[in-house]
Amino acid sequence: MNETKPTKPTLTAIRPLTEQDAEAFHAMRLYATRNNPAGIVPTYEEESKRTPEESRARVRATENQVVFGAFVDDTLVGITGLMREPRRKLAHKGLIWGVFVDPAWRGAGIARQLMEGVIAHARALGLLQVQLVVSVLNPRAQAFYRSCGFVRYGVEPRGLYLDGEYADDELMVLFLDDPAVPD
């Protein structure tokens, strides 16, 4: 008898979030604070105090900010944000923040697709570089960012305080105008 195994649904969309996605975004951020406290800066208590309007404002795309979501059917399974510095002398760079993929979906390439989407958006904005901060407590994320072409440009000593301990933050950059970085 040939039984077919049920397969996991595949990723259906990487797209900017809208205000209609604010509740799912907020729920994912709350989940992230519990699942990966070294990867998300706010604590669960801090994130849980955000109002629905604050969540809508966070996902509302502007010329200087966008939050991308990864969806399987209508379910949000991953998020990441991009902020562009609005001041003219700094407008050539952006900050990638809040990268998180639901652990049930890790290993399916979703984080890479999110990163590719946010980097493509940064290029479309004309940014020359994107930066991010990652805790040394998160070696899996550090390795992932390196595999995406990011390089370390510094360390912030005691950048994170978690569970009574300090941990350094690694500062990373990806130069989008580097010919070695694929489009």
pLDDT at 168 over 90: yes
Which tokens sit at 18? 């809208």
The reported pLDDT for the residue numbered 167 is 95
Confidence tier at 2 by pLDDT (50, 70, 90):
very low
- Provide the residue ranges of all domains of the chain, joining segments of one domain with +: 13-175
Long-range contacts at 28-36 (CB < 8 A, ≥ 24 apart): 28/76, 28/79, 28/100, 28/102, 29/79, 29/98, 29/100, 31/102, 32/98, 32/100, 35/103, 36/100, 36/138
Give the pair of three-digit tokens for residue 83. 């902020």
Give bridge partners of residue 82 from the DSSP assignment: 66, 96
Q: E strand or H helix at 131, and its extent?
A: strand 129-135
How high is the pLDDT of residue 179?
Answer: 64
Q: Are strands 129-135 and 75-84 parallel, antiparallel or unpaired?
A: unpaired
Residues 6+ apart with CB under 8 A from 26: 47, 50, 52, 55
For residue 1, what pLDDT is reported?
46
Contacts of 22 (CB under 8 A, 6+ apart): 52, 55, 56, 58, 59
Please state the length of the chain: 183
Q: What is the pLDDT of residue 130?
A: 98
Class of domain 13-175: alpha beta
Q: Which two tokens stand for residue 91?
A: 């407008």
The neighbouring-strand residues paired with 161 are: 166
**Helix-, strand-, coil-residue percentages of the chain, each rounded to 5:** 35, 35, 35
Task: Calculate the average pLDDT of the chain.
Answer: 92
Q: What is the pLDDT of residue 176?
A: 96
